[in-house]
Amino acid sequence: MSRRPIQNEDRQAIADFIEKHWRSKKVMSQGKAYYPHEQEGFIEWRDGQIAGLLTMAYQDEALEVLTLNSMLEGERIGSSLMLMAIEDARKRNINRIWLTTTNDNIKALAFYQKLGFRMTAVNLGVVDEARKAKPEIPTVGFEGIAVRDEVVFELPIKAYLDPESLA
């Protein structure tokens, strides 16, 4: 097992991973396209395969989490990668971490709330608009739920008092 910051030699594997799991090499957040393999982040390798990946972008004194994937459920890979991102943000004196997920992603909605993130907005119809730039976005997602909206989550770093709960 190797959990560490993304390195240049990881970039092609990340591009392939994102294309496989996100249906394209680009991801959309609030109408903006990102290419996760070009971004900063953290990766966990197991047996030569990506077991977990978190990609992120720093902007305007905030850290946006672009993607978070854990390929082995129940092993706290996602939580560990998020803790690494929180610590990285703290070291850079970043005030908050934020991210978006789609309205159908029930597991993610629960996961982020358990980590202490708060829902700060629901962007109605944003996914419908994003689909124009990225037609690979499905119209129906988890549990047969129509994918239409983005849910925005935020974690104020200074207010986050118990990072050990993520470990």
What share of the chain in percent tops pLDDT 70? 94
3-state percent breakdown (helix, strand, coil) of the chain, nearest 5: 35, 35, 30
What is the spatial distance between Cα 55 and Cα 36, in angstroms, rounded to a whole number? 6
| Domain range 2-166, CATH class | alpha beta
Q: Tell me the domain boundaries of the chain.
A: 2-166
Partner residues linked to 2 by β-bridges: 45
Helix (H, G, I), strand (E, B) or coil at 86: helix
pLDDT in tens, 40-80: 999 999 999 999 999 999 988 899 999 999 999 889 999 99
What is the spatial distance between Cα 161 and Cα 68, in angstroms, rounded to a whole number? 22
pLDDT in tens, 95-117: 899 999 999 999 999 999 999 99
Would you say residue 162 has pLDDT above 70? no
